[in-house]
Amino acid sequence: MVCTIGNLFHDGLSYTFKQCDLVEKTEFIEPSVVNGESGIRYLPFRREGRSGDTPCWAGINNYGVAFVAADAYTNREYQITDEWKQQIFSEYEKIISSYRTAKDAAKAMTNFYMTGFPAPDIVHITDANIAIFIEYTPAGPELIGSWERTDGFFASTNHFRMLPDAIEYDKDHSTYLRLERAEAILQSKPEIEGIAAALRDQYYGQTSLSICRVADNPPQYHTQANVVFMTDGKRVDCGYILNGSPRENLYEIRPDVFDTSIVIKGEKSFDKEDTPLVALSTNL
């Protein structure tokens, strides 16, 4: 998955987002709430896989624990079997099906990497209080890099910032250009409007270099789905687009996903049928 992912804290709320870019046209599946472990309920976002499976590419649970992930591009190539691919998507889903805090989920994900996962990876695990960004490489000597944030914002695309062997600019400059744009937009608008603007951004035109990617010379990566989660740890809202881009489609907005009937705190309190995520579609 070639993606733009990140998290932003604003006005007592935690936002987590992902723009999903793939080469092959892929069917993204409408999400529904399912039961996890020990009273956990979660909302997995799935897509059709090449082998008939439906891997979970993002998600959140009723405790506000969310994950978004991205492929990590390096200067060396790695071979990964279908079994390992299925395993890592299973581990992603466990983040939201099995854990009530981002810290516990991040610890479990790190432990999984250390079992010998054979390819580099990037994952962002969040809840209402903390955002944990993890980079992993099997090459060493340092296998894991991790940052934690409790305020502000953090964005990532497909190259390492902490670990060595990040893909060089001249081999894949799209990942660098997309990150530069995402950070610039969120720096100027550190709120939900900034996330909306970043996910729609085509500063480099209708090409695969922009955040909202277009395959101007197929086959290329192009934007096929995205999701934005919002929580204060009590209530969860989400907005998403499946099988399209935010340049051409309106977001599906789901307030109070787990039906808590709780009004989120903060200066911008709102009713059950209202949510700050309506800002996602205001620029269309």
Q: What is the pLDDT of residues 60-88, one digit of tens each?
A: 999 999 999 999 999 999 999 999 999 99
pTM score:
0.94
Q: CA 71, CA 151: separation in Å to the nearest integer? A: 25
For the ranges 61-65, 113-117, 257-261, which has the lowest average pLDDT? 257-261
Give the domain CATH number at 128.
Answer: 3.60.60.10
Residues 6+ apart with CB under 8 A from 218: none
Q: CA 247, CA 95: separation in Å to the nearest integer? A: 30
| The total number of residues written for the chain in this structure | 284
* Residues pairing with 131 in the sheet: 126, 149
Count the helices and strands in the chain (H runs, E runs): 4, 14
Q: For 27-31, what is the mean pLDDT?
A: 97
130 has pLDDT over 90: yes
Domain enclosing residue 236, as ranges? 2-281
Each residue's pLDDT tens digit, 152-183: 999 999 999 999 999 999 999 999 999 999 99
pLDDT for the residue 269: 45
| E runs forming strands in the chain | 2-10, 13-22, 28-29, 34-35, 41-47, 56-61, 66-71, 121-126, 131-136, 144-149, 153-156, 222-231, 236-242, 252-254
263 has pLDDT over 80: no
- Structurally, how many domains does the chain consist of? 1
